[in-house]
Amino acid sequence: MQQRFVFIWLKYLKTDWFSIHKPELSGKAFVLATPQRGRMAITAVNREAMTQGIKVGMVVADARAICPTLQVLDDRPDLSEKLLKSLGEWCLRYTPVVAIDSPDGLVLDISGCAHLWGGESTYLKAIKMSFKKQGYHTRMAMADTIGAAWAIAHFGWENAIIPPGEQNTALLRLPLSALRLSSDLLILLQKLGLYKIADIIHFPSASLRRRFGNEIGIRLDQALGHALENVQAIQPIQPYQERLPCLEPIINVRGIEIALKKLLDGLCDRLEREEKGLRTACFMGYRVDGKIEKIEIETSAASRHSQHLFKLFELKIATMEPALGIELFTLEAKKVEHLVAEQEVLWIERAGVGHVEVAELLDKIKTKWGDHCVKRYIPEAHYWPERSFKTTSSLQEMPGMEWSLIRPRPIRILTKPEKIEVTAPVPDYPPMLFRYRGKVHTVKKADGPERIAHEWWLEDNEHRDYYCVEDAEGQRYWLFRVGHYNEGKLNIWYLHGFFA
């Protein structure tokens, strides 16, 4: 696939943001300033101030001498990074790969994306208009390399689209500063009478490296496509993602359902080809106003059954608010597992409910009432009660051992044992009475003690003596005493579980 990149230069990033949030500044010359060495220095200017000759780095007093009506606002040091991150996440509706180029640029890897908007020209125009509607001034360029797109956006013509393979010709007439060289190197090159990329593009790489170091050769190779330039995307690329742009914004539930079905069909077809199934999925709608609507589902077992997955999403679609309309839908399988198609049984009729039916039933219950409604426990190789089991969200995870049935265990164990008051007049005997949450229970039957010692290699603490007791109402409990019985010392008792 031919790699293509778009660079978005937000020259007036911070001042545009101030104009958006303070409409009274619209059309007026203003700057942002911060204290530097005992004086106020300008850190950002808006378009109106720049047309009057005011530049970044000037002292506020000098700028006011040029423009007496100039308004000065306090700058925010971290504003640029926050704005770029926010705008970068918003640009994910156009491509899954967006990177930040501080202090005022965004890099979009649009390889394979432009055709979804009807071509590169329409694609770039859509991005430009979206930024304009938000109130941001931009200069954009599209090329085969990040370096070429950056150079054209800053020093070329506005909204330029460089045809594939023609970045060499497009760069020739640009200044050397378009290669993103350091200021010291630019000064040296200018002293030698080298001002444009055309002046050095035909020099042998070895000569440039020997005379000027590695920087100029690396930047030139990156711009021409001879060297790869990596970018760090603001969000990890999801390997299993489907995208669906809309010709017109979707504003009703029926349109959302149609989009979801189409995305699920495409994702499940791919999962089937690769013998995988999803465990968690996220369906997102990018609204016209810049907000993102999102719903997520989780399955008990790996699944690529599109109808079942749609029913899980359908329970949550009502929470999506399209507002003025959704212009892009995405579906991501955030977690996938290996899933081989089961061989069909031809000659034996199926009896009972299969594994898949159980998993899908549990999915519906958890999606409708929450994950806390269904829990699965499997045994662990520990004797200490709190460590003798663990929870798992997968029906396919097999335990490494069988449940121990040597001694009775309650069906419900408290996460943290609760202290109780007891009457136990005889050592190593169960209590005659115990008080739990203000209610007194009279013990009629009991079994024990069962001594359970701490696993000394994990934790050093006193042992427990457990008793299974039944009160006058027929309720059965699992109680324990901490440590040995001591007649002269207060013995501490706890309730740890409930039997059926």
DSSP-assigned states of every residue in 393-437: S-SSPPPSSPPP-SS---SEEEEEEEEEEEE--STTS--SEEEET
d(CA 471, CA 169): 91
3-state secondary structure 456-495: CCCCCCCCEEEEEEEECCCCEEEEEEECCCCCCCCCCEEE
Q: Which pLDDT belongs to residue 352?
A: 43
Tens of pLDDT, residue by residue, the chain (500 residues): 689 999 999 999 999 999 999 999 988 999 999 998 889 999 999 999 999 999 999 999 999 999 999 999 999 888 999 999 999 989 988 998 999 999 999 999 999 888 888 899 999 999 999 999 999 999 999 999 999 999 999 998 888 999 999 999 999 999 999 999 999 999 999 999 999 999 998 888 888 888 888 999 999 999 999 888 888 889 877 788 898 988 888 999 999 999 999 999 999 999 999 989 998 999 999 998 888 899 999 888 888 999 999 999 988 998 999 988 998 899 999 999 888 765 444 444 444 445 677 777 777 777 777 777 777 788 888 888 888 888 777 766 777 778 877 788 888 888 889 999 988 666 778 888 999 998 999 999 998 888 988 887 887 788 899 999 999 999 999 999 988 877 666 778 999 999 98
Query: How is residue 226 written in tokens?
Result: 């001879």
Q: Which pLDDT belongs to residue 170?
A: 92
CA atoms within 13 A on the CB side of 280: 8
Q: Which pLDDT belongs to residue 351?
A: 42
Q: Which pLDDT belongs to residue 346?
A: 44
Pairing of strands 139-143, 376-379: unpaired
Provide the phi-psi class of 66: left if phi over 0, else alpha when psi is between -120 and 50, else beta.
alpha
d(CA 161, CA 125): 11
Counting every residue written for the chain, the total comes to 500
d(CA 230, CA 436): 63
Asked if 284 and 296 count as a contact pair (C-beta separation under 8 A), the reply is: no
Q: Which pLDDT belongs to residue 117?
A: 86
**Domains in the chain: ranges and CATH:** 5-144+153-161 (3.40.1170.60), 241-338 (3.30.1490.100), 412-498 (no CATH)
Cα 477–Cα 482–Cα 486 angle in degrees, nearest 5: 115
Q: Which pLDDT belongs to residue 253?
A: 92
Q: Which pLDDT belongs to residue 353?
A: 44
Q: Which pLDDT belongs to residue 354?
A: 52
d(CA 244, CA 299): 23
Asked if 41 and 57 count as a contact pair (C-beta separation under 8 A), the reply is: yes
Nearest one of 295, 285, 327, 307 to 126, comparing CA atoms: 327
Residues 6+ apart with CB under 8 A from 139: 8, 9, 11, 153, 154, 158, 159
Cα 171–Cα 175–Cα 177 angle in degrees, nearest 5: 105
d(CA 134, CA 132): 5
